[in-house]
Structure 1
Amino acid sequence: MTKNTGFLIGFILIKILLQYLLIDSGYDLHRDEYLHLDQAHHLAWGYISVPPVTSWLSYLIFLLGNSEFWVKFFPALFGALTITLVWKAIERLGGNLYAQSLAAVCLIFSALARLNILFQPNSFDILAWTFVYYSLLCYIQSGKNKWLYWLGVGIGFGFLNKYNIAFQLLGLVPALLLTSERKIFKNPHLYAALGLALLIALPNLIWQWQNDFPVIWHMRMLSNHQLVHVNRLNFLTDQFFFFFGSAFVLVLSMISYFTYPPFRKYQVFFWSTVFTLAIFTYFQAKNYYAIGLYPIHYAFGAIYLSHLFSKSWGKYLKPVVMVIPIALFILTAPMTYPIGDPQYLKKVQSRHPELMENRWEDGEIHDLSQDFADMLGWKELAEKVDLAYSKAPKEEYTLIICDNYGQAGAINFYTKTKGLKAVTMNADYVNWVDLSREIRNIILVREAEDGVSDREISFFESSEEIGTITDPDAREHGTIIHLLLGTKTDINAILATEIEEKRAELRE
């Protein structure tokens, strides 16, 4: 094993360990993670909200024991692999160990750490973007067509993970046309590689067609309820803060494409960033959608900085530059990561309100980050649903119906009751409701503002409110758990109608 390989392994271990240290033990999993974990039990070539790759990982997590350790491991691993690709890019570009180490430090102590604490498609998405750029870099450098096929593989699996990668392609096409690399469009292997990408993505495209393109429903929902609150100017300014501790390396990378002769042939990466950011800004995308643009630039920026430091005075600045991203990360981590309980986070953020604005998807400002509020109250919910379930007759079918996918998924993940399965008319769960057995009892899990209606109670012989989520910092604070026993009407028929109405509503 070479010295460089030993350093790389060390950085990988630091990266993975850091991801576990950034989350206080008092937090549960995030609401989105529960939906992805439940997909393991409903494997398909696609879902309403995401393509299938995350469900494959969920199934692997299930086989490994379905513990929180493995839920956290895979996003950390994808972050480590992203760093590895940048490390290898520097190696191919002729960079030294200092450049590789600087790039690794910049990426470890950046916004990647925030994304890599959650089991969502985002971590693999950034890895896929970096792999596509890495393959393009290798093709430009070597001229070997095999790298075009690897680029096709990256696009194909990136598409099966998250449709966001389409924006990378939309930014790459004009960037290639604008630079000398436009000659790539005369290479028939490019189209064969794109054909390979299409072949890999085809099962999901067929699934989309068979199911009336749910991706369109999902994008419409995002546009109406989440992206509508996105400010275009904030989107652009947020890009700086993702890597603010090492932004100087990114700036130097952009300069190097035009001033450092060995890098001039790689200007396509600069223009790809410009065009992709413009497209994201136009569509009012969420700020983190663009993070995949940046890792590859650290290969160029770190090498260029190493070149600038090659003069005698540079040896004094090398350790300073290496420490800056680490120091700034340590200073800001208490405000931006759940390393302490909610009261600690709110106390820290109250001292620096100008540095941290907890704007949720509803467009309102709250005293705790939405992500962290979405990581509280779930175990309490599962415990109270288990209590409600224990009060229902064991010989009868009791269905748990929730208001949203976070509630249903959290109950299914944390329940101690064998065979208990919660559902909802929300997201993919609308396709997973089991109506094959006669429903005799129902446990309703309702958000605080909704409650349980008198009409619903009238369908049953008896009802009992079991409790609510009491954690005031949880986004689900006040959520009600209500037990309804002894149906007096055909609940299966009512639910079947509601399911069809919900599916129709999703298609509107």
Structure 2
Amino acid sequence: MPRRFYLLLLLVLLFKLVFHFLIIHPAYDLHRDEFLHLDQANHLAAGYLSVPPFTAFLSLLIKWLGGGVFWVRFFPALFGALTMLIVWKLVELLNGGWYAQLLAAVVFICSSMSRVNMLYQPNSFDILSWTVVFYLLVLYIRTGASPILLWLGATFGIAFLNKYNILFLAAGLLPALLLSSQRKILLNRYLYGGLLIALLMALPNVIWQIMNGLPVIHHMKELASTQLVNVDRLGFVVEQLLFFLLGTLVWGAALVGFARYAPFKPYRFIGWTFLFVMVLFVYLKAKAYYALGLYPVLIALGSVYWERLFSRPSTLYGWLKWLCLPLIMTPTLIFFRMIFPVMEPHQLERSMTPGQREVLTKWEDGKLHSMPQDFADMLGWRELAGLTVQAYETVPVSERKNTLILCDNYGQAGAINYYAGGKVSCAVTFNADYIFWFPNTDTLHYLIIVGDEPGEYVRKYASGYVKTGQISHPLAREYGTGIYLVKGISPVFPKKLRQWQLEEQAAFRAWPQVISQ
């Protein structure tokens, strides 16, 4: 490849990395999920209630690097850039030229991929993993080098340790390979060597799940009853089109190419995989973004197919070739301020039209709100941490070691630990992984409740409480969340707290725990 094409690749990757540091207005904090993942670095384990352990060890690396916002945003941006690099190399493997590579990069950047790469969640690495799986399969078909299948197994292994979503790809790949001319891969002993590598990598987390009563089953049931129940199957399909806007014409071209373009014949299993995984997700009423890992390979294939069409000797095709790039960018540029949190929150709320609100502000509860859910989940956290510090500082210094900060949810606890770490004792909650992270509470004289007003279960064990503040940002999802200082804690309360903690832990188990934590 000529040197100027490598320079183009470098510029595109650099843009992708820098882009994610420019699209978040300073008024926004980190996202509630990011706080939980970052806190896992302080409680390393082979598994967690919410996710497998890969993110926790990445969070430990972020902690070693200083734990700043820069590094929190760097890694999802890096995974996005690496995904785009693999797409670029896929185009090269498929004999596409620099135009196809540039087209694929434009489609990738002007899509929901950039929205996903904005947040420190397992999703960015999940999409990267799916893309690497397809890349390795295409590389194996092109070269016939069996050791590639060992790397395929390792990719599945690390992807499993990041997010269980990779199992849906495996479920779609198996029947797709059986239906295609590539079924012979299933007779290759290296494939089973790769499978053994994947199983060995996944084994610590599988053992953790078994020893802790398979909490993933409870997590999936809770997810289905509280969030997936609000997913509309038709809405799932519509969202797949909205993810890429006009870029849909590019990845959709790959599906056409499987039927009409002879060089794509060896890769038809990719089309079957897309179909099987989509059917599975629609049936299960999955969240739309679960399927995002399918698209990078389709973007690569579709870009090659479009480049082939544009190569016809015609002035019209020449014009269309160059018109295609700005055309794909246009919807993203028009809706840029709605797609990314570049505007001050109140300004964004005022500028949204009813149509935009209908598309962008439907939350996981199935209702329309004032802001996109991800944006609302990035507001009010620094204020909450500051108010908690103020309440904590009213406690006598000698009693602070006997003070517990108890929150309603993991977002509150994680935000306090991130923004006020070192200034207050660690915040905990009966929500998510925090039920395993309670400190020793044998002696407890003060309690700081974050969330709703203390209920009867607290008041009966205290002499009184006072509200010291609440989140005032009206667009924050946590708007109105209060901070309450509870005094005169009964000596009985720590034992009750431990009892409730154990009961909540037991509720996450599909069967009794093998050994105690």
Shorter-chain TM-score bucket reads over 0.9
Partner secondary structure for residue 311 of structure 1: coil
Please say if residues 435 and 492 of structure 1, whose CA atoms lie closer than 8 Å, have aligned partners that are also in contact: no
Shift of residue 436, structure 1, vs aligned partner:
5.4
Instruction: Show the counterpart of 1:3.
Output: 4
Which of 401, 405, 411 aligns to 2:406? It is 401
Instruction: Show the counterpart of 2:380.
Output: 377
1:105-124 → structure 2 map (5 Å cutoff): 105-124=106-125
Please say if residues 386 and 417 of structure 1, whose CA atoms lie closer than 8 Å, have aligned partners that are also in contact: no
Please say if residues 386 and 416 of structure 1, whose CA atoms lie closer than 8 Å, have aligned partners that are also in contact: no
Q: Which amino acid in the other structure matches residue 394 of structure 1?
A: V
Give the whole-Å Cα distance in 2 for the aligned partners of 1:229 and 1:455: 31
Is 1:433 matched up with 2:434? no
Q: Which amino acid in the other structure matches residue 16 of structure 1?
A: L
Is 1:321 matched up with 2:324? yes
Bigger shift: residues 456-465 or 163-172: 456-465
Give the whole-Å Cα distance in 1 for the aligned partners of 2:90 and 2:267: 12
Give the whole-Å Cα distance in 1 for the aligned partners of 2:70 and 2:497: 36
Mark the runs of 5 or more structure 2 residues left unpaired by the alignment.
Answer: 511-517
Bigger shift: residues 349-358 or 464-473: 349-358
Q: TM-score, normalised by structure 2?
A: 0.95
Q: Which amino acid in the other structure matches residue 242 of structure 1?
A: F
Instruction: Show the counterpart of 1:152.
Output: 153
Give the whole-Å Cα distance in 1 for the aligned partners of 2:305 and 2:45: 46
Instruction: Show the counterpart of 2:465.
Output: 463
Give the whole-Å Cα distance in 2 for the aligned partners of 1:488 and 1:292: 52
Bigger shift: residues 158-167 or 136-145: 136-145
Is 1:420 matched up with 2:425? yes
Q: Which amino acid in the other structure matches residue 192 of structure 2?
A: Y
1:27-426 → structure 2 map (5 Å cutoff): 27-312=28-313, 313=315, 314-350=317-353, 352-353=355-356, 356-396=359-399, 397-415=402-420, 417-418=422-423, 420-426=425-431
Across the aligned residues of Structure 1 and Structure 2, the Cα RMSD in angstroms comes to 1.5
- Identify if the C-alpha distance between structure 1 residues 444 and 82 changes in structure 2 by more than 3 Å, giving closer, same or farther: same
Q: Which amino acid in the other structure matches residue 338 of structure 1?
A: P
Bigger shift: residues 451-460 or 157-166: 451-460
1:310-368 deviation per Cα after TM superposition (whole angstroms, max 9, x unaligned): 12323322221111222221111222221112222223322534762422122222121
1:72-119 deviation per Cα after TM superposition (whole angstroms, max 9, x unaligned): 111010000000001111112221111111111110111001111110
1:209-250 deviation per Cα after TM superposition (whole angstroms, max 9, x unaligned): 111111111111101111111111111111111111311111
1:23-53 deviation per Cα after TM superposition (whole angstroms, max 9, x unaligned): 1110111111110000000011110010011
1:468-483 → structure 2 map (5 Å cutoff): 468-483=470-485
Shift of residue 437, structure 1, vs aligned partner:
4.9
Mark the runs of 5 or more structure 1 residues left unpaired by the alignment.
Answer: none
1:359-389 deviation per Cα after TM superposition (whole angstroms, max 9, x unaligned): 2122222121111111111111000100011
Instruction: Show the counterpart of 2:491.
Output: 489
- Identify if the C-alpha distance between structure 1 residues 154 and 369 changes in structure 2 by more than 3 Å, giving closer, same or farther: same
Q: Which amino acid in the other structure matches residue 92 of structure 1?
A: L
Shift of residue 299, structure 1, vs aligned partner:
1.4
- Identify if the C-alpha distance between structure 1 residues 354 and 438 changes in structure 2 by more than 3 Å, giving closer, same or farther: closer
Partner secondary structure for residue 468 of structure 2: strand
Give the whole-Å Cα distance in 2 for the aligned partners of 1:488 and 1:264: 73
1:110-148 deviation per Cα after TM superposition (whole angstroms, max 9, x unaligned): 100111111000000000000111111111111111221
Partner secondary structure for residue 445 of structure 2: strand
- Identify if the C-alpha distance between structure 1 residues 458 and 330 changes in structure 2 by more than 3 Å, giving closer, same or farther: same
Give the whole-Å Cα distance in 2 for the aligned partners of 1:255 and 1:499: 55
Which of 471, 485, 507 aligns to 1:505? It is 507
Please say if residues 349 and 356 of structure 1, whose CA atoms lie closer than 8 Å, have aligned partners that are also in contact: no
Bigger shift: residues 318-327 or 10-19: 318-327
Bigger shift: residues 290-299 or 89-98: 89-98
Give the whole-Å Cα distance in 1 for the aligned partners of 2:404 and 2:356: 45
**Percent identity over the alignment?**
45
Q: Which amino acid in the other structure matches residue 204 of structure 2?
A: P
- Identify if the C-alpha distance between structure 1 residues 83 and 70 changes in structure 2 by more than 3 Å, giving closer, same or farther: same
Give the whole-Å Cα distance in 2 for the aligned partners of 1:462 and 1:261: 77
Give the whole-Å Cα distance in 2 for the aligned partners of 1:235 and 1:335: 20
Partner secondary structure for residue 488 of structure 1: coil
Bigger shift: residues 387-396 or 423-432: 387-396
Give the whole-Å Cα distance in 1 for the aligned partners of 2:385 and 2:367: 28
Please say if residues 402 and 422 of structure 1, whose CA atoms lie closer than 8 Å, have aligned partners that are also in contact: yes
Shift of residue 494, structure 1, vs aligned partner:
1.3
- Identify if the C-alpha distance between structure 1 residues 381 and 153 changes in structure 2 by more than 3 Å, giving closer, same or farther: same
Instruction: Show the counterpart of 2:450.
Output: 445
Q: Which amino acid in the other structure matches residue 67 of structure 1?
A: G
Give the whole-Å Cα distance in 2 for the aligned partners of 1:348 and 1:335: 9
Query: Alignment length, in residue pairs?
Result: 505
Please say if residues 246 and 324 of structure 1, whose CA atoms lie closer than 8 Å, have aligned partners that are also in contact: no
Please say if residues 449 and 483 of structure 2, whose CA atoms lie closer than 8 Å, have aligned partners that are also in contact: yes
Partner secondary structure for residue 278 of structure 1: helix
Partner secondary structure for residue 236 of structure 2: helix
Please say if residues 335 and 356 of structure 1, whose CA atoms lie closer than 8 Å, have aligned partners that are also in contact: no
Shift of residue 406, structure 1, vs aligned partner:
0.3
Q: TM-score, normalised by structure 1?
A: 0.96
